[in-house]
């Protein structure tokens, strides 16, 4: 297994993985814009050259500078082997001088909630995904 920084040309396989594992999807143009941006931190997980997982985070500059993990997904057969944790930790160390990182998660997504809690993320706000409940989680980095 390999992990490397995402290239813009990876968007197609990231999109495929995203649509297979998550119901929150993005347009082709959004992937291209985000992956082209210098304010993005993104990695792909590869099995003999095939993308089997990804993480995308963006740097937000508001009153403070913070990171927002907008998507994380790994094909089922590659889960529970520590890759989700590794991708999260890579993004955390790749985004420099940020005050905190946030992400959104569904209340019923137990594997993701377990991963984020394990890494120290804490709920700061309840949100709605249509009819489902969710949370914004946050982890302070400095």
Burial tier of 11 (Cβ tally within 10 Å: 0-12, 13-18, 19+): buried
Binding mask 87-106 for ligand COA (x = CB under 6 A): ------------------x-
Q: Where are the alpha helices (DSSP H) in the chain?
A: 11-21, 28-36, 83-94, 110-118
User: Taking CB under 6 A as the rule, does residue 17 contact ligand COA?
Assistant: no
Using CB under 6 A, which residues numbered 19 to 58 contact ligand COA? 21-22
Other residues' Cβ atoms within 10 Å of the Cβ of residue 2: 9
Among 19, 39, 85, 122, binds ligand COA (CB under 6 A): 85
Please state the closest distance from residue 71 (CB atom) to ligand COA, in A: 7
CA-closest candidate to residue 30, choices 58, 3, 72, 5 = 58
Please state the closest distance from residue 117 (CB atom) to ligand COA, in A: 8
**End-to-end Cα distance, the chain:** 31
Among 79, 107, 129, 136, binds ligand COA (CB under 6 A): 79
14 vs 97, which CB is nearer to ligand COA?
14
């Amino acid at each position: 297994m390999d992990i490397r920084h995402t290239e813009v040309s990876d968007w197609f396989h990231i999109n495929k993985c995203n649509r297979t594992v998550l119901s929150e999807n993005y347009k082709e143009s959004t992937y291209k814009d985000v992956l082209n941006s210098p304010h993005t931190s993104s990695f792909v997980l590869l099995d003999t050259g095939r993308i089997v997982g990804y993480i995308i985070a963006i740097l937000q500059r508001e009153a403070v500078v913070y990171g927002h993990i907008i998507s994380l997904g790994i094909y089922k057969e590659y889960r529970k082997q520590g890759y989700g944790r590794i991708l999260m930790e890579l993004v955390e160390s790749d985004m420099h001088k940020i005050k905190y990182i946030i992400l959104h998660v569904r209340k019923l997504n137990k594997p993701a909630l377990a991963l984020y809690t394990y890494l120290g993320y804490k709920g700061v706000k309840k949100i709605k995904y249509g009819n489902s409940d969710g949370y914004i989680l946050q982890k302070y980095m400095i």
